[in-house]
Amino acid sequence: MAVTQRVRVVVGVALAVAGFLFLFFSTRNAAQLTTQAQTGQNYTSTWEATKLITVDSAGGWNNVGILRNVPIGVAEWQVDARAAIGGAQLFTETWRTPTSSEIVYNPADQTLTGSGFNSADWIFANHIGIFGDTPDGGRVRYKFQSPSVLNPGYKYTKDNAKVGGNAIQCRSNSDSNCLMPRGSYGWEVYHALGNLGSDRGRISASGLMMPAKWIITGTIY
């Protein structure tokens, strides 16, 4: 092979190697810069409740009637994340419970039923006193509803009992009977005694329906 040809081959190989190294390191550096930019990005996320778990129950009293649509917790969140500088949308997510169909506790056979209900996905408890004329057979109904069911102007008065809030419903027989949340995803029907000198009332029904699993879907922009 002539000297000139050898030089051309060596130069060609050198240029090929140099091109490969340039491409490799530039690609790697670009990936590193992108990763650093992503991991170093400050952002703010807004969580908005778009569905609530509500409870219907009359407690154990036959002359109270069914108290309805009392929220005990969030069933679905919409998450919106935006860059702290400039406000560009970075990602959105939806967090929801494993089912959004009505779940019913029936004291007659002490079971929970509902379309898509899987007991492994929930932490739950139900307690209710049952009499022969308890409304709806004492069934407790858990529903999944829009936050529009909330009534921020709700007020109730029975003698010395004064009630206000958007997560409580009350009804009178001889005393006040109120269904309200207790703790996270818990609830009770509280029956006040007519004698306010007494240090106790009566809880005729109570329960808990807490999600132990969340389904998450989202989009990265």
59 backbone dihedrals φ, ψ, rounded to 5°: 70, -155
**Residue pLDDT, tens place only, 25-57:** 344 444 443 444 456 789 999 999 999 999 999
**Residue pLDDT, tens place only, 198-207:** 556 688 899 9
Give Cβ neighbours of residue 141 (< 8 Å, ≥ 6 apart).
55, 56, 57, 102, 103, 104, 105
Domain limits of the chain? 1-38, 43-220
Indicate yes or no: pTM above 0.85.
no
- What was the pLDDT predicted at 194? 60
Nearest Cα neighbor of 45 from 95, 100, 3, 4 is 95
**Residue pLDDT, tens place only, 185-221:** 999 998 876 655 555 668 889 999 999 999 999 999 9
115 backbone dihedrals φ, ψ, rounded to 5°: -65, 120
Q: Which one of 3-12, 25-34, 96-105 scores highest in mean pLDDT?
A: 96-105
For residue 136 the two structure tokens come to: 């709806």
